[in-house]
Amino acid sequence: MAEADSRRLTTACTLDLMRVQTTDGRRLGHVFDLRCEAGSGKAPTVTAVVYGERGLLERLGLRRARPTVVPWARVRLIEDRVIVVDDDAASARDRKR
């Protein structure tokens, strides 16, 4: 059981500092955190990617502003250390934390 949990954590950690860009190639920043939901008896599920300058400031504890996020449902591809999200995901980023 613990071994399976550590594999999940390792997988999530591989997203750290990946570049985030839209499908049309616009760079949005880098991943600084993930948002998850955990149900009773269920493994946590990633719900959003925290990225960009505000995400970094929150990660460092230097700012308490709402970080920029993209809902996980808007992620289209993860390849070559790049997370590709829908073109309009940047405008939808503050709808869900």
Tell me which residue range forms the domain holding 26.
2-92
Nearest in space to 51 (alpha carbons), one of 74, 39, 40, 3:
74
Predicted structure pTM score: 0.79
In a domain, 87, yes or no: yes
In a domain, 74, yes or no: yes
Residue 49 sits in a domain of what CATH number? 2.30.30.240
Percentage of the chain modeled with pLDDT above 70: 81
Query: CA-to-CA distance for 25 and 29, rounded, in angstroms?
Result: 12
What's the domain count of the chain? 1
Q: What is the pLDDT of residues 1-34, one digit of tens each?
A: 344 554 555 678 889 999 999 999 999 999 999 9
With 0-12 CB in 10 A as exposed, 13-18 as middle and 19+ as buried, what is 48?
buried
97 assigned to some structural domain: no
Sign, CA dihedral 24-28-32-37, equals negative
State whether residue 59 is helix, strand or coil: helix
